[in-house]
Amino acid sequence: MAWAVRAPRSTLLAPSVWQGPRNRKALALTFDDGPSESTPELLSLLAEHQAKATFFVIGTNVERLPEVARQIVAAGHDIGNHTYTHSPLYLRHAQFIADELGLCQQAIWNATGVAADYFRPPYGCRWFGLRSAQQAYQLQGIMWSAIGLDWKLSGAAIAPRLRKAARNGAILCLHDGRERRQQPDIRSTLEAARVLLPQLRAEGYDLVTISDLLCPTQHSNA
């Protein structure tokens, strides 16, 4: 049961992807829990290094900062569903899970005019009923190949951790917010990005959205 709920590679409770194709020198950076007041700084860093990413946003944060959600989309990044309140889905009724996905989907649409195609569960934990909710909202689950632990590690520790995990098709997980907190401290994430982005670029990686990673025949260089 623990494997089914938490393991990034598990698809027992809902369909999900943790790794993209390995035949192309590309990987996907993903950021959870935003948007936050610091997301624009991260967007500037990504633009500086010609990198695209995927942002899994919390619906209530989108409602609080709709203009930042619009900046994410306008910059050419993917925006994904990370539930409405970031409440854990495990031990919850199927209707609660469906509501969390549906309300977030609506918040994203209201702010940006975009329907999210991808979903990441809070804390990476899935539960019974998620499969049908994802199907109802046509959401593909996305997990990760490696996670930065940037809510507790320093930038100096995060960058080498993710650099070690970098490989063709990798999906790397960081956070541009800290759950639903206002004005969250994401300095460690920004510090790690300043180190990691030029390293990955120097090694020849295309830094792409989840859409581009999973649909290589349609991709364009980031």
- Catalytic residue, from 32, 117, 150, 176: name it: 32
Q: Among 40, 4, 20, 45, which Cα is nearest to 200's?
A: 45
Amino acid at 190: L
Q: Decide if 93 is catalytic.
A: no
Query: Which of the following is catalytic: 82, 175, 176, 206?
Result: 175
Sign of CA dihedral 148, 74, 86, 186: positive
- Rounded CA separation 85/91 (Å): 16
What are the E-state strand segments in 116-200?
118-119, 140-142, 146-147, 171-175
Instruction: State yes or no: is 32 an active-site residue.
Output: yes
- Within 10 angstroms of residue 169's Cβ, the number of other Cβ atoms is 20
The answer to whether 35 and 175 have CB atoms below 8 angstroms apart is no
Catalytic positions are: 32, 175
